[in-house]
Amino acid sequence: MSQFRITLAQLNPTIGDIAGNIALMRQAAEQAVQEQAQMVVFPELSLTGYSPGDLLDELDFVERAVQGVDTLLAATREMPGLCWVIGAPMPCIGPGKALENCLLVLRDGQIVLRYAKQLLPTYNIFDERRHFEPGSDVAKVLRVGQTQIGFLICEDGWNDEGTAYPVNPFSRLADAAPDLVVSINASPSHIGQREHRHRLFAAASRRHKLPLVYVNQVGGHDQLIFDGASFVVSPQVGVVYEAPRFVESVTTLQWDGQRFLAGSGESLPPVAVEGLPVMEFYRRQIELGLRDYARRCQFRQAVVGCSGGIDSALTLALAVEVLGAENVVGITMPSRFSSEGSVSDSAVLCRNLGIRLFEHPIHNIVGQYESGFHTAFGQPLQGIALENLQARVRGTLLMEYSNSYGHLLLTTGNKSEISVGYCTLYGDTNGGLGLIGDLYKSEVFALCRHLNICAGRELIPQTIIDKEPSAELAPGQRDTDSLPPYPLLDTILQMLIEGERLGTDERSEVEEAYRRLTTEAEGQMLVARIRRMIARNEYKRRQAPPILRVRGRAFGSGRQMPIAAHYT
């Protein structure tokens, strides 16, 4: 068998920007030609970006996608002999839904192969069956030179153990005896997912004795972040090449019938079994999510309510790394209940980060509300209503600034607080995007320490990290007045919200701590109380801004629970 040269085009398409995505694909194809590749492979739905959602219900959008395929066909005539493996929604041939999620191989102005995705995920963040009809249970192969290539689309390769679907496209493809398998993907990233992909596809490659090329999308799309990390697998060795994570990458490799080599013909360096350390993964995932969200929504600047607490400190630090200190603003809004440190710690933080801090006290505004409430209703404003009022005044002021200056307001809630409703609707939940809403409070502390270590200095003041958490909405208030200590709370939340979706190592530790807690009546009562709090506050989460997903089950599209329901 002669050498087969293949280009892995790990791109960052924008959903709906068909012309822009075509430009990215064309540029990658030109590089493939220069590097004498016979095939260039793009991610799943690379033409439209993944996932277009209900844009697929709009006739004009589908027409533009079909026209986009025609534009790509014209481009292939300019690069004769090169096979373009693209992903695109195509009109369904036959009964059922109007569209299929297709892999197309384009060459010399023609569609030389069409394969429709067979396994359409409808779980967690996925809802492909909403728009697509499953493809037929057939294998699709194409001979390119002396190499027989078989094709899969994402989920089609994830069922090789046969536990999730009655159909196994990988096994069917193996029966067709290709020399090489190409899989196009849009696999979102979360903690542990990279290692899970490696284990699953290495096992399938070994079982079927088939080498595999896995090309993934990269970039942030609303809640979802795609890490790229495209890879190739040798049946004998396992993963032998991995593209960089969290960045675009276009790389040409050789396959000589026995092993993969670099485009230059040299041996490939070994691939690390372990991925990034957990905190560095969180950092890079969140930063890519913010960068693409701001860019695609046309924001260059961000504003954050700076309370002197750890959540707003971490949010500001991450925003500065992505947007630059000159494009990030903090606003501190002390009330009569605020501690001295809420302002002084905010000042030190913003000085460390090199950003501007505005001070806008709210005690006079809150006082006017209190007076008006008493006049109108004949009783004082007090308790939870007064506490929430302060948060809502702050949220309103932040939105005023956002509207006046065009900054993206970043909300600062973490997963622990969002889970149990320890936040104020239309107050601290205001904003366009939540950076840390999928991090438990314990992880917030850990990521702050990680940022300081990476910087080699106190980006986030130690006084903020050491400070006991408090909303500071009432005299002497502490989070532990109404919540258990965060390490304990986080253990309970991880079991109740994520459960089996926790990583293997993390799950065993959490399960053991949870088991010990629930062996006694007091622990059982605490778990029942937290479960009720999670259920009771679903209405708040439904109205909150999108949060960037870093874990296996995030609030939003990944956890769809009813509001008006009875929970035991």
| 550 domain residue, yes or no | no
- Quick check: 358 pLDDT over 80? yes
Give the DSSP H/E element, type plus range, for residue 326: none
Give 474's pLDDT tier (boundaries 50, 70, 90). low
Q: Reply yes or no on whether the pLDDT at 67 is more than 90.
A: yes
Output the domain CATH number for residue 14: 3.60.110.10
Q: Is residue 314 part of a domain?
A: yes
User: Per the domain annotation, does 261 fall within a domain?
Assistant: yes
User: Could you give the C-alpha distances from 3 to 184, 242, 258, 481, in angstroms and in order?
Assistant: 22, 20, 10, 68
Report DSSP letters for 153-167, one per residue.
EGGGGTTTTSSS-S-
What is the tally of helices (H) and strands (E) in the chain?
16, 20
In this structure, the answer to whether residues 291 and 365 fall within a common structural domain is yes
Same domain, 255 and 307: no
Residue 505 pLDDT: 72
Whether 290 and 174 share a structural domain = no
Q: Indicate the SS3 state at residue 312.
A: helix
pLDDT at 496 over 60: yes
Per-residue pLDDT at 381 exceeds 90: yes
Q: Examine the domain organization and report whether 314 and 290 are in the same domain.
A: yes
Residue 114's nearest CA partner among 165, 69, 155 is 69
Q: Which of 246, 267, 288 is the last residue of a domain?
A: 267
Are 312 and 259 in the same domain?
A: no
pLDDT value of position 415: 97
Q: Would the pLDDT of 455 be above 90?
A: yes
Given a cut of 80, whether residue 479 has pLDDT beyond it is: no
Question: Does residue 294 share a domain with residue 242?
Answer: no
- 502 pLDDT more than 90: no
pLDDT score at 341: 75
Task: Give the C-alpha separation, 5 to 252, whole Å.
Answer: 7
Give how far the C-alpha of residue 123 lies from the chain's centroid of Cα atoms, to the nearest Å: 16
- Tens of pLDDT, residue by residue over 49-62, are 999 999 999 999 99
Encode 45-81: b = buried (16+ Cβ within 10 Å), e = exposed: bbbbbbbbeebbeeeebbebbeebbeebbebbeebee
Give me the long-range contacts of 272-280 (CB less than 8 A, separation at least 24). Answer: 273/195, 273/198, 274/195, 275/194, 275/195, 275/245, 276/245, 278/191, 279/443, 279/446, 279/447, 279/450, 280/450, 280/454
Residue 473: its pLDDT value, please?
63
Q: 513: pLDDT confidence band, cut at 50, 70 and 90?
A: confident
244 & 217 share domain: yes
pLDDT at 476: 65
Query: In one letter, which amino acid is 420?
Result: V
| Catalytic residue (one of 83, 100, 133, 154) | 154
Q: Are residues 256 and 300 in the same domain?
A: no
- Say which residues have a Cβ less than 8 Å from residue 262's Cβ, sequence separation at least 6: 253, 254, 268
Boundary-marking domain end, from 239, 267, 295: 267
pLDDT average, residue stretch 536-548: 94
Whether 446 has a pLDDT exceeding 60, the answer reads yes
Residue 140 appears among annotated catalytic residues: no
Residue tagged active-site, from 44, 242, 287, 443: 44
pLDDT at 503 over 80: no
Q: Are 355 and 261 within one domain?
A: no
pLDDT at residue 170 in the model: 93
Chain mean pLDDT for the chain: 93
Q: What is the distance between the alpha carbons of residues 88 and 101, in angstroms, rounded to a whole number? A: 6
Q: Which residues sit opposite 107 in a β-bridge?
A: 110
Let me know if residue 510 belongs to a domain: no
State how far the alpha carbon of 535 is from the alpha carbons of 48, 416, 463, 567, in Å: 36, 14, 34, 7
Tell whether 285 and 399 lie within a shared domain. yes
Assign residue 301 the CATH number of its domain.
Answer: 3.40.50.620
pLDDT of residue 471: 60
**Both tokens assigned to 365:** 């505004």
Is 92 designated active site? no
Q: Is the pLDDT of residue 261 over 90?
A: yes
Mean of pLDDT values over 289-293: 98
* Catalytic site includes residue 102: no
Strands (E) located in 384-497: 408-411, 433-434
Q: How far is it between the farthest Cα atoms of the chain?
A: 89
pLDDT at 567 over 90: no
> Would you place residue 467 in the very low, low, confident or very high pLDDT band (cuts 50, 70, 90)?
confident
The reported pLDDT for the residue numbered 209 is 95
pLDDT confidence of residue 382: 92
- Position 1 pLDDT exceeds 60: no
Domain count, the chain: 2
The answer to whether residue 449 sits within a structural domain is: yes
Q: Does 216 fall in a domain?
A: yes
> Which of 392 and 500 is assigned the larger pLDDT?
392
- The average pLDDT across 238-243 equals 96
pLDDT of residue 164: 86
Domain boundary among 480, 506, 532: 480
Domain that holds residue 194: 4-267
Q: How confident is the model at residue 506 (pLDDT cuts 50, 70, 90)?
A: confident
Residue 563: inside a domain = no
Residues 172 and 309 in one domain: no
User: Which of 44-58, 225-239, 333-347 comes out lowest in average pLDDT?
Assistant: 333-347
Claim to verify: residue 242 and residue 305 sit in the same structural domain:
no
**If you average pLDDT over residues 432-458, what whole number do you get?**
96
Assigned domain for 502 exists? no
100, 117, 423, 498: which one is catalytic?
117
